């Protein structure tokens, strides 16, 4: 951040600002110029706003130097499947893994449609303690077996640092869910692995906060991070969330990391999933992730937003048509 003092700031006030920036853990560098200004990393806007001698400040890319480094775009590779290589990656699978049969049916359908990455929940974060919270390690094994049977890569959610190792053994990509986007011990834990990470946007996270969450993972040494837009909190009960598709082009200008979109959670209304998947691709997303269930009416969680298998087929066809139209 560059911090500029008021033109009438006194020497003592400047010392006080330096003191405050140092106290906040930064090593401020005085910049040349008639007005007094500093380069100071790692300090918050809230802090500088509160210093009376400060007139202005602005964020530099150095706020999240790894997430916004210049240079080539990152391609994230999950078992030879790519995110960010110019093709649209379609990830699909059940909200929750419910039985070996259910996940095999979905995996089989995905493979038949040419998809290569299977999602599925084994440990489910649920708003109510009385809701179905997933079948745990058993589910993770069924997911793995179904994926192996059909030649698919696996992405699944981890909810706590102590579960990361087991997940790395069974999954090819670790999802950090919306509710955990600022679970910093978890971000650090997945950052210590070399397994690719799917980082969902928090319920009401700004793009800046989201990139800083990614920075936690990157800073740990794991450079394989895919961002996943999944809607933010809104005042309108018409939808479950408000899908922020403009995040796609706005992030493209801010980060080299791939960005995909989850229209299932992003709207939470089955009939809107296909149009919004198409819209995401038209906006430039590197992929989409959707929930599918062999029998959504019997799903143990979020069945209302799951696609049927035939709908998944329609989605794939329509998304591919948009993709072709964009690359012509």
Q: Give the footprint of its own copies on residues 100-139 (CB under 8 A).
A: 125-133
**Does 35 sit near its own copies (CB under 8 A)?**
yes
**Does 30 sit near its own copies (CB under 8 A)?**
no
In sequence order, what are the residues at sequence separation of 6 or more whose Cβ sits closer than 8 angstroms to the Cβ of residue 12?
none
Whichever of 10 and 131 has its CB closer to its own copies, that residue is 131
Binding mask 206-225 for its own copies (x = CB under 8 A): xxxx--x--xx--x------
**Does 272 sit near its own copies (CB under 8 A)?**
yes
Residue 36 CA: distances (Å) to CA of 17, 20, 30: 10, 15, 7
CA distance 136 to 123: 5
Residue 67 near residue 211 (C-beta atoms within 8 A)? yes
**Does 298 sit near its own copies (CB under 8 A)?**
yes
| Residue count, binding to its own copies (CB under 8 A) | 111
Report 222-251 residues binding its own copies (CB under 8 A).
Answer: 232-240, 242-250
**Does 253 sit near its own copies (CB under 8 A)?**
yes
C-alpha neighbours within 13 Å on the C-beta side of residue 253: 5
**Does 8 sit near its own copies (CB under 8 A)?**
no
Give the sign of the dihedral formed by CA 9, CA 12, CA 13, CA 18: positive
Whichever of 110 and 248 has its CB closer to its own copies, that residue is 248
∠35-38-42 over CA atoms, to 5°? 155
**Site stretch for its own copies (CB under 8 A), options 75-83, 146-154, 192-200, 265-273:** 265-273
Whichever of 11 and 238 has its CB closer to its own copies, that residue is 238
* Residue from 66, 42, 70 nearest 223 by CA: 66
Whichever of 77 and 244 has its CB closer to its own copies, that residue is 244
Binding mask 156-195 for its own copies (x = CB under 8 A): ---xxxx----------------xx-xxxxx---------
CA distance 183 to 76: 22
């Amino acid at each position: 951040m560059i911090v500029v003092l008021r033109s009438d700031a006194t020497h003592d006030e400047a010392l006080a600002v330096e003191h405050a920036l140092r106290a906040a853990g930064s090593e401020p560098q005085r910049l040349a110029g008639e007005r007094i200004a500093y380069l100071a990393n790692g300090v918050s806007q809230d802090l500088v706003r509160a210093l009376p001698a400060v007139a202005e400040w602005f964020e530099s890319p150095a706020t999240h130097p790894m997430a916004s480094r210049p240079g080539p775009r990152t391609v994230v590779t999950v078992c030879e499947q790519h995110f960010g290589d110019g093709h649209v990656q379609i990830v699909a699978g059940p909200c929750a893994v419910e039985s070996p049969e259910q996940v095999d049916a979905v995996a089989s359908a995905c493979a038949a449609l040419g998809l290569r990455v299977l999602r599925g929940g084994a440990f489910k974060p649920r708003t109510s303690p009385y809701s179905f919270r997933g079948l745990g390690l058993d589910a993770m094994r069924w997911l793995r077996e179904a994926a192996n049977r059909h030649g698919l890569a696996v992405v699944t959610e981890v909810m706590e640092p102590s579960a990361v190792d087991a997940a790395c053994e069974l999954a090819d990509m670790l999802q950090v869910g919306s509710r955990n986007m600022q679970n910093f011990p978890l971000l650090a834990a997945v950052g210590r692995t070399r397994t690719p990470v799917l980082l969902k946007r928090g319920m009401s996270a700004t793009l800046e906060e989201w990139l800083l969450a990614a920075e936690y993972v990157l800073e740990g040494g794991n450079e394989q991070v895919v961002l996943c837009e999944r809607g933010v909190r809104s005042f309108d009960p018409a939808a479950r969330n408000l899908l922020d598709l403009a995040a796609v082009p706005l992030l493209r200008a801010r980060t080299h990391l791939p960005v995909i979109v989850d229209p299932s959670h992003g709207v939470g209304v089955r009939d809107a999933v296909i149009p919004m998947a198409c819209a995401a691709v038209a906006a430039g997303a590197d992929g989409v992730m959707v929930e599918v269930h062999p029998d959504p009416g019997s799903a143990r969680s979020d069945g209302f937003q799951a696609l049927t298998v035939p709908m998944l087929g329609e989605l794939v066809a329509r998304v591919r048509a948009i993709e072709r139209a964009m690359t012509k």
